């Protein structure tokens, strides 16, 4: 073993020893794999199987239809929304869980355009006809934004996040941004961009898929208007677990959903032909909630008991710093190029490395028990979930990477 | 015991003895409850808990991200769609599973309007500007239809199904109908109404929530254009299990979804900024599929092995006939009034009885182990799922009802 390796392994051991979150790892079903793909699919919290078995066998199997009331199925979307709220800096009553991220982006954008057009004397219906969208975003956001624009008579304006302030104006209705770039891991300036959007009289819609559960978001503090996110990455809700929608309290009575299903009715069991929207965040609900997945997510959220997002963020930055240091020490210069920013303020919870033949390299890493993922055309992506990734994992990942490239 | 009761119980025993589906009941987790609410939430197929445990513990817990390929997660929406297809009379490749019924109604109606407007020389964009909707439908369909109309510049025309032919014309873009009325159990004339809609140059969209798995639908045979349905009633997929969308093969290349998420892209992992729709039914997909609920549904569909929908329909009619006979024999005249049609061609798989104080009556029935449900303002609803409801159940339900009202 080289001196560098001996030194870094000692440092990893020391950092793990001082890690206040280290005990959390035992709450997950993990083997000796170095799992750095929690930014794609979070690991299984160990108590989830038993909880889901109870939902299926007792709640569905024995209580059957009674569980809509007796097992709290009916209120799950808002109850679980309130569990997610503190993780994204939201007071209760502003988040509902349900549907996919894509569907929630659609609700949020159409509703945002409607609010922007209806607000204030100076902005008559039709006065604002542009939706600005992050051109570097995960593609689904752009596709859905295009559809929302088409259906509301808007023009889509795709720009890089840094260029957003330059395109804002009195025609801007809504701006859809990703909090972190899914490919590079770059963290965007949510407070600053939100303020710029507001200064132009438009609404800011944020996609939190790559940040919720990994770093503080501060939705209420920064006056974000609407937000969406998935729950299967850093929130460990399970494959395709339902997404969520945040609607800032002050906007809820103007939230006019394009998907006004019976679950968002003021009186869902009144079975009335006329639609009358429920009060509050419930307006974001649509159809019958998907109970098995929703209650698996609810169980998964128990791992957050006693954890602060600030502690998670501190460990995330320490982990990604340390990983970058190990990569520098182990991997010969020129073989990989970090595309994730060094500056903490600009870094999410992943490290992306540009690398020749990245697809093949990732396959070989996975064969050796280091699981990240590959994003076309040339990016190795390593996600760091502070609840279960250790500094020793980071060191091993860099070491295996160096051996694979060497 | 009265002679009537002795006679009806003997008949029930005989009918159960001759029932070719009687062995199916053992495949469900049922106790001695008479469960007549399978038209709201289907009972648990007994093998589902073990299958879901495997999905969670092995597929998610151990294989983690690899399961998207290795456990067939990615292709689940179309694979499970093909499992549902024979139950609704559809050839493979026309159904995808995912999202709620409400969300699928939205996709279907907006896409139908776009197809109707784009078809033929005589129908330029904007030429067809009416969506006709069943005024007696389950409310969510009407709410969503109103939203689809608003976003596509259409007018909503709510009429009773029988009056649909009278309002069709060259302005009609799409017609949304329920195959069976959720309240009365009346079965609507799918072949005749579809033909009438087509004669007017419009598209027919059917909601199959209350018929799929209970009777033959014949989507392909009758040329239905688009259809949606839930999977948690007669398909026993579990609470809030994902819904499905049928797009007739001939229309698939013109199916222009208002929810074009990355899962409906021709190359989902290409991560390209421009949307290019996938071929075929995949266009109905939106975001990341909800795997736990989806694979619970897939497991639940195993109970259909070796069952024909014709056999199910024959038993359903025999059960509802027999139940009505028992009600007539046991319940003093004037206390309940069947609102479900007597004619087989007009009957779904439920019996609705109008009854004073129906809400309280249903509570007392449930206390006595006869579970149906109540629909405001005055309807007792009893659903008959031929896979697990017996003739003895029907007799007992009527007997307990008579005792409760007596």
Residue indicated by tokens 């890089």 = A160
Secondary structure E strands in B41-162:
95-97, 130-134, 155-159
Q: How many separate domains does chain B show?
A: 2
Residues A214 and A103 in one domain: yes
Whether B39 is covered by a domain: the verdict is no
In a domain, A276, yes or no: yes
Q: Is B101 annotated as a binding residue?
A: yes
Q: Which of B252, B347, B285 is nearest to B77 (CA)?
A: B285
Distance, CA of A249 to CA of A357 (rounded, Å): 48
Measure CB to CB from residue B41 to each of A56, A64, A239 and give the nearest one.
Answer: A64
Domain end call among B276, B304, B332: B304
Give the whole-angstrom CA distance, residue B161 versus residue B181. 10
ipTM confidence: 0.96
Within-domain flag for A387: yes
> In this structure, are A199 and A146 located in the same domain?
yes
**Is A119 a residue whose pLDDT tops 70?**
no
Q: Which of B102, B239, B362 to probe by mutation at the A interface, max A CB count within 10 Å?
A: B239
Lowest mean pLDDT among A30-34, A113-117, B125-129, B356-360: B125-129
A316 interfacial to chain B (CB closer than 8 Å) = no
Mean pLDDT, residues A359-386 taken together: 96
User: Last residue of a domain, which of A274, A304, A334?
Assistant: A304
Residues of chain B with pLDDT > 90, as a percent, come to 93
Burial class (CB in 10 A: 0-12, 13-18, 19+), A208: buried
Residue A399 is part of a domain; what is its CATH number?
Answer: 3.90.1150.10
Residue A180 and residue A313 in one domain: no
Same domain, residue pair B76 and B213? yes
Q: Are B383 and B183 in contact (CB under 8 A)?
A: no
Domain match, B152 and B233 both? yes
Task: Give the pLDDT confidence score for residue B119 in this predicted structure.
Answer: 53
Give the pLDDT score at A70: 96
C-beta of residue A236 within 8 angstroms of C-beta of residue A303: yes
Judged by CB atoms closer than 8 Å, whether chains meet at B61 and A67 is answered as no
How far CA B107 is from CA of A251, A258, B147, B266, B381, in Å, comes to 26, 12, 11, 18, 30
Flag the least confident range among A187-196, B107-116, B249-258, B264-273: B264-273
Same domain, B293 and B393: no
Asked, for residue A19, whether it belongs to a domain, the answer is: yes
Structure confidence by residue, pLDDT tens digits, B7-58: 999 999 999 999 999 999 999 999 999 999 999 999 999 999 999 999 999 9
- The DSSP code sequence of A265-331 is BSSGGG--SS--BPSGGGGG--SS--HHHHHHHHHHGGGGTT--HHHHHHHHHHHHHHHHHHHHHHS
| Six token digits for residue B354 | 């109008």
Q: What is the 3-state secondary structure (H, E, C) of A84-124?
A: HHHHHCCCCCCEEECCCHHHHHHHHHHHHHHHHHHCCCCCC
CA B186/CA B60 separation, integer angstroms? 43
B114 Cβ contact list (under 8 Å, min separation 6): B152, B254, B256
Q: Are residues B265 and B139 in the same domain?
A: yes
Amino acid B273: pLDDT:
87
Q: Which domain holds residue A192?
A: 53-304
Q: Is residue A362 part of a domain?
A: yes
pLDDT at A179 over 60: yes
Structure tokens that stand for A314 in this block: 């501190």
- Who contacts B102 (Cβ-Cβ below 8 Å, separation ≥6)? A259, A261, A262, A263, A286, A287, B140, B141, B143, B144
Provide the shortest C-alpha distance from residue B6 to chain A (in Å). Answer: 31
Claim to verify: residue A207 and residue A350 sit in the same structural domain: no
Specify whether B330 is located in the same domain as B290.
no
Q: Pick the residue with more confidence: B140 or A57? A: A57
Half-sphere exposure of A320 (CA within 13 A, CB side): 31
Query: What φ, ψ does residue A360 adopt, rounded to 5°?
Result: -70, -40
Among the three residues B268, B283, B304, which one is the final residue of a domain in this structure? B304
Say if A135 is an interface residue toward chain B (CB within 8 Å): yes
CB within 8 Å: A44 and B60: yes
Strand partners of residue B337: B354
**Claim to verify: residue B291 and residue B361 sit in the same structural domain:** no
pLDDT one-digit tens code per residue, B275-312? 999 999 999 999 999 999 999 999 999 999 999 999 99
pLDDT of A210 strictly over 80: yes
> Region A297-320: what's the mean pLDDT?
98
% residues pLDDT > 70 (chain B): 98
Task: State how far the alpha carbon of B270 is from the alpha carbons of A305, A375, B70, in Å.
Answer: 38, 9, 20
Residues A267 and A377 occupy one common structural domain: no
Per residue in B199-236, pLDDT (tens digit) is: 999 999 999 999 999 999 999 999 999 999 999 999 99
Q: Give the CATH number, domain containing residue A147.
A: 3.40.640.10
A101 is in an annotated binding site: yes
Query: Closest by alpha carbon to B185, among B162, B210, B164, B205?
Result: B210
Given pLDDT bands bounded at 50, 70 and 90, which one contains residue A122?
very low
User: A277 and A320: one domain?
Assistant: no
How many Å apart are CA B16 and CA A202, to the nearest integer? 66
SS3 readout for B291-349: HHHHHHHHHHHHHHCCCCHHHHHHHHHHHHHHHHHHHHHHCCCCCEEECCCCCHHHECC
Token match 């033909």: residue?
A: B195
Length of chain B, please? 406
Residue A48 in tokens: 């989830």
Does residue A35 sit within a domain?
Answer: no
Residue A48 lies in a domain: no
Does B179 fall in a domain?
A: yes
């Amino acid at each position: 073993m080289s001196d560098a390796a001996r030194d870094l392994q000692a440092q990893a051991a020391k950092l793990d020893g001082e890690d206040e979150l280290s005990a959390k790892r035992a709450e997950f079903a993990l083997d000796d794999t170095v799992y750095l793909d929690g930014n794609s699919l979070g690991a299984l919290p160990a108590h989830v199987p038993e909880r889901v078995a109870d939902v299926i066998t007792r709640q569905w199997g024995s209580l059957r239809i009674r569980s809509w009331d007796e097992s709290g199925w009916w209120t799950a979307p808002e109850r679980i929304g309130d569990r997610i709220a503190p993780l994204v800096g939201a007071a209760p009553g502003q988040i509902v869980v349900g549907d996919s991220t894509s569907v929630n982006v659609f609700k949020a954008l159409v509703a945002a355009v409607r609010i922007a057009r209806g607000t204030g004397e100076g902005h008559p219906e039709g006065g604002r006809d542009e939706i600005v969208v992050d051109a570097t975003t995960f593609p689904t956001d752009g596709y859905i934004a295009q559809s929302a624009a088409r259906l509301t008579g808007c023009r889509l304006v795709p720009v890089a996040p840094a260029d957003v302030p330059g395109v804002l104006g009195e025609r801007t209705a809504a701006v859809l941004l990703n909090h972190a770039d899914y490919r590079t891991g770059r963290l965007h300036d949510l407070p600053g961009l939100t303020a710029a959007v507001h200064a132009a009289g438009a609404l800011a819609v944020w996609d939190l898929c790559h940040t919720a559960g990994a770093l503080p978001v501060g939705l209420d503090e920064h006056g974000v208007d609407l937000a969406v996110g998935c729950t299967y990455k850093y929130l460990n809700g399970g494959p395709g677990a339902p997404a969520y929608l945040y609607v800032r309290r002050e906007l809820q009575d103007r939230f006019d959903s394009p998907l006004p299903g019976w679950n968002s009715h003021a009186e869902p069991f009144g079975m009335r032909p006329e639609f009358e929207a429920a009060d509050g965040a419930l307006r974001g609900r649509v159809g019958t909630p998907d109970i098995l997945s929703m209650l698996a997510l609810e169980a998964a959220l128990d791992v957050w008991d006693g954890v602060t997002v600030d502690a998670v963020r501190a460990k995330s930055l320490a982990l990604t710093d340390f990983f970058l240091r190990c990569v520098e020490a182990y991997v010969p210069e020129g073989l990989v190029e970090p595309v994730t920013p060094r500056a903490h303020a600009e870094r999410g919870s992943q490290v992306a490395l540009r690398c020749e033949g990245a697809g093949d390299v990732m396959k070989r890493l996975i064969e050796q028990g280091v699981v990240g993922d590959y994003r076309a055309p040339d990016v190795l992506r390593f996600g760091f979930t502070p609840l279960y990734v250790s500094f020793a994992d980071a060191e091993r990942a860099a070491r295996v990477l160096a051996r694979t490239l060497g």
